[in-house]
Amino acid sequence: MNSLNVLGIGSSMREGSYGTMTLKILLDLIERYEAKTRLLDLRELKMPIFNPDSSTGPDMEIQKMTDEVSWADAFILVSPDYHGSMSGSMKNFLDHYWEEFAGKTFGYICTSHEKGLTVMDQMRTAVRQCYGWSLPYGISVNGEEDFNEMGAIINGLLDKRLNILAHDLVVYGKLIREQFLQDISNDVSDTFAARYRL
């Protein structure tokens, strides 16, 4: 694998979302490493509520999203803290996928006034349930304190943490993805990846 494909998911419906602003900054930092990035802003995509009974087949918006999810080797999930939980749009996004997340690495950002640890834990739980791998830490953003009116980060610690996350996601994401793909392509049966062989 020459470069890692990283997909950032923004899940705030708010115009001027601090989370989506932070995600854009992070994706730029990730580009400094051997990685390509894309942004999927759920505010713009108008994803239908997941319906397991849907018989009409995937609509255009979902197909577009599925193409992006399949392209990705690693993800950044970004959610506002809503009552200690992830946003409904993030949960809905996660509900649409399962095997597509296996063997891929996830990083987390939560915009919150209270660090958003429960929010990131919930996203991590959903990802684990889909056999995705998570970085052991996440980043919390407290919008009004961390940004100025121009949309620039004024908290040096946040700046540093984003740089660390950019580095770690690419380095660990690549290791995990390469091993997963290698395990799929060989004929060893006692591996985590074996069940994902076609």
Which residues of this protein are in contact with ligand FMN, per CB under 6 A?
Answer: 12, 14, 17-19, 80-84, 111-114, 143
21 vs 35 by CB, closer to ligand FMN:
21
The set of residues, in sequence order, having a beta carbon less than 8 Å from that of 6 and lying 6+ positions away, is 27, 30, 35, 36, 37, 38, 72, 73, 74, 75, 76, 169, 170, 173
DSSP-assigned letter for residue 59: -
CB of 80 to ligand FMN, least distance (A): 3
23 vs 169 by CB, closer to ligand FMN:
23
Backbone region of residue 89 per phi and psi (left: phi > 0; alpha: psi in -120 to 50; beta: other values) = alpha
CB of 112 to ligand FMN, least distance (A): 4
CB of 82 to ligand FMN, least distance (A): 4
28 vs 67 by CB, closer to ligand FMN:
28
1 vs 157 by CB, closer to ligand FMN:
157
CB of 118 to ligand FMN, least distance (A): 9
Backbone region of residue 129 per phi and psi (left: phi > 0; alpha: psi in -120 to 50; beta: other values) = alpha
